[in-house]
């Protein structure tokens, strides 16, 4: 059972956390560690640290905990005899899938597939999924260009030493302030903080501007439309420029709502026009739903809010989905000649059945408890609560925005944002920072209105002291 509210007994991190931090620091870099957690004592929306503090968790392991801590359905999944093998016999899924794999994929991932997407490939994490989705876009683009003919001897020889034509100078268009992961290909599409990229070599791929909308939206409609139009124009120009110089754009990667970059939104029309551009230019469209997926916006997939005229070509997922992976349309399914068919999108494990066991449970809980509806109602209450806070503290709370419980607001400076974040934590609320001066909500799917009230009370008292 969840606690009725937060309890704070010590500074956070407390003495036990600091002791453990010292011990861990002897083994690895601990620069990002916030505090140590007692996962056995954490319950639902509340995270327990090792010093007896219980915090209302609005960040939930970087937006990756769907049903809160120690949900009974996950515990039950562990006790089912038919699930034991998935936890102790880890298969190389690409070559030796287990007998129940088709059934598990159908009852988990395919039962929540984005409309119109019938193909799914599991992977390890978000970046791993993005890496292989990028490769799938390159393969599809090349197949269209070459008409599916087999590779020439020159392509085979040059491919193994990173040279064209075997390794063609194809590119991916991404957006400023985007985050897609920290492995080298995903990192090439990531443009949030310099620290994430410093001293890593990166390819010269096109980087477009993501719309910077002014809030409240209803008071800036014309300006925001103009901003989106100029962004779309820039995208067209970049594709043309890179095509002309012999480094064609094979695909576009975009988040339905930019997360790490500071919860940046764009309109449904923007995304519809973006998809039109990919159709006109023959480039792939990869919707990265690693952070926005699994119901947090009130629809299972955030891009479902954008009313696209056809499915995206690929959709990546991870975090709350328990497993990484990506959906794709039939057209983007690797169709190389049999010699190439396997081992192109490949690695040892290709995902983890133990995580898909948990995802099966998650999907049934979401359906049985109608959690998408919970996210919609709690989200509406959350955004109106943030707007009320904004009206009480107009100099401190800015740009209230959100979809479902995927909500955020800004403070005037990064310092003010950090100060409020620490003040909230000291009073028992764990929230996430994003962008340069954003605080973002990434609660569980079982987040309720009374949790919003607890946040609002603590936030109100923290703001009074700022």
Query: Applying CB under 6 A, which residues contact ligand PSZ?
Result: 62, 125-127, 130, 179-182, 255, 259-260, 288, 290-291, 318
> What whole-number distance in Å separates Cα of residue 144 and Cα of residue 149?
10
Compute the least distance from the CB of residue 33 to ligand PSZ, in Å: 13
Beta-bridged to residue 171, according to DSSP, are 249
Pick the closer one to ligand PSZ by CB: 14 or 404.
404
Q: How far are the Cα atoms of 265, 333, 442 from residue 341, in angstroms, in the given order? A: 38, 10, 39
Question: For residues 212-247, b (16+ Cβ closer than 10 Å) or e, as one string?
Answer: ebebeeeeeeeebeebbeebbeebeebbeebeeeeb
Residue number with the shortest CB distance to ligand PSZ?
126
Nearer to ligand PSZ among residue 62 and residue 226 (C-beta): 62
Q: How far is the CB of 439 from ligand PSZ (least distance, A)?
A: 14
Q: How far apart are CA 274 and CA 296, in angstroms?
A: 23
Tokens of 305: 């809010």
Host H or E run for residue 262: none
CB of 264 to ligand PSZ, least distance (A): 12
- How many whole angstroms separate alpha carbon 439 and alpha carbon 397? 10
| Residue 308 Cβ vs ligand PSZ, minimum distance, rounded to whole Å | 18
Compute the half-sphere exposure of residue 143: CA atoms within 13 Å on the CB side of its CA: 17
List, as one string, the DSSP characters of 264-312: B---HHHHHHHHHHHHHHT-EEEEE-TTT-TTTTSSSSGGGGGT-SS--
Residues in contact with 7: Cβ distance below 8 Å, sequence separation at least 6, in sequence order: 52, 53, 54, 428
In sequence order, what are the residues at sequence separation of 6 or more whose Cβ sits closer than 8 angstroms to the Cβ of residue 67?
Answer: 73, 74, 362, 365, 444, 445, 446
* Best CA proximity match to 419, nearest among 437, 441, 445, 394: 437
Order the strands of the 398-403 sheet from edge to edge.
398-403, 406-410, 438-440, 432-434
Distances (CA, A) of 321 to 98, 106, 258: 20, 14, 18
Give 67 or 130: the residue with its C-beta nearer to ligand PSZ: 130
* Closest listed residue to residue 454, CA positions, set 62, 46, 38, 64: 46
Q: Which is nearer to ligand PSZ, 135 or 182 (CB)?
A: 182
Q: Shortest gap between Cβ of 324 and ligand PSZ (angstroms)? A: 6
The Cα–Cα gap between 108 and 361 comes to 8
| Cis? peptide before 40, omega within 30° of 0 | no
**Least distance CB 125 / ligand PSZ (angstroms):** 4
Q: Is 379:298 a contact under the CB 8 Å cutoff?
A: yes
Nearer to ligand PSZ, 53 or 192 (CB): 192
In the complex with ligand PSZ, the residue whose CB is nearer, 140 or 323, is 323
Residues with catalytic function:
179, 288, 319, 348
DSSP state at residue 216: S
Residue 34 or 335: the one with the smaller Cβ distance to ligand PSZ is 34
- Specify the residue, 270 or 381, whose C-beta has the smaller distance to ligand PSZ: 270
CB 62, min distance to ligand PSZ, A: 5
- Closest contact distance (angstroms) between CB of 212 and ligand PSZ is 18
297: tokens are 């916006």
């Amino acid at each position: 059972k969840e606690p009725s509210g937060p309890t704070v007994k010590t500074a956070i991190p407390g003495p036990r956390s600091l002791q453990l931090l010292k011990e861990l620091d002897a083994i690895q870099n601990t620069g990002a560690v916030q505090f140590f957690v007692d996962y056995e004592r954490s319950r639902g929306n509340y995270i327990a640290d090792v010093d007896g503090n219980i915090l209302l968790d609005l960040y939930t392991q970087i937006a990756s905990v769907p049903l809160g801590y120690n949900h009974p359905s996950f515990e039950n999944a562990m006790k089912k005899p038919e699930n034991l093998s998935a936890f102790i016999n880890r298969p190389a899924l690409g070559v030796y899938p287990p007998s129940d794999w088709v059934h598990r994929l159908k009852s988990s991932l395919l039962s929540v597939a984005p409309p119109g997407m019938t193909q799914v490939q599991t992977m390890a994490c978000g970046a791993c999924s993005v890496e292989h989705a990028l490769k799938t876009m390159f393969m599809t683009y090349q197949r269209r260009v070459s008409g599916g003919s087999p590779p020439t001897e020159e392509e085979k020889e040059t491919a193994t030493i990173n040279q064209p034509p075997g390794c063609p100078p194809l590119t991916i268009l991404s957006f400023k302030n985007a985050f897609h992961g920290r492995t080298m290909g995903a990192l090439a599409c990531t443009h949030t903080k310099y620290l994430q990229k410093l001293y890593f070599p990166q390819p010269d791929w096109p980087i477009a501007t993501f719309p910077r909308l002014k809030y409240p939206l209803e008071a800036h409609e014309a300006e925001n439309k103009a901003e989106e139009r100029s962004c779309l124009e820039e995208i067209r120009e970049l594709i043309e420029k890179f095509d002309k110089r012999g480094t064609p754009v094979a695909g576009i990667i975009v988040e339905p709502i930019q997360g790490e970059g500071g919860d940046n939104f764009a309109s449904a029309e923007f995304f519809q026009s973006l998809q039109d551009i990919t159709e006109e230019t023959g480039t792939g469209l990869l919707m990265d739903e690693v952070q926005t997926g699994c119901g947090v916006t009130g629809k299972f997939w955030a891009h479902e809010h954008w009313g696209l005229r056809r499915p995206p070509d690929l959709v990546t997922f991870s975090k709350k989905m328990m497993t990484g992976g990506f959906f794709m349309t039939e057209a983007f399914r690797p169709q190389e000649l049999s010699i190439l068919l396997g081992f192109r999108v490949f690695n040892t494990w290709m995902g983890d059945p133990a995580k898909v066991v948990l995802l099966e449970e998650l999907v049934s809980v979401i359906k049985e408890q109608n959690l998408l509806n919970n996210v919609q109602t709690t989200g509406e209450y959350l955004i109106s609560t943030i707007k009320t806070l904004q009206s009480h503290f107009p100099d401190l709370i800015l740009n209230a925005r959100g979809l479902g419980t995927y909500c955020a607001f800004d403070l005037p400076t990064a310092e003010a944002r950090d100060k409020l974040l620490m003040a909230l934590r000291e009073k028992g609320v764990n929230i996430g920072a994003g962008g340069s001066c954003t605080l973002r909500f990434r609660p569980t799917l079982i987040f309720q209105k009374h949790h919003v009230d607890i946040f609002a009370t603590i936030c109100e008292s923290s703001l009074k002291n700022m």
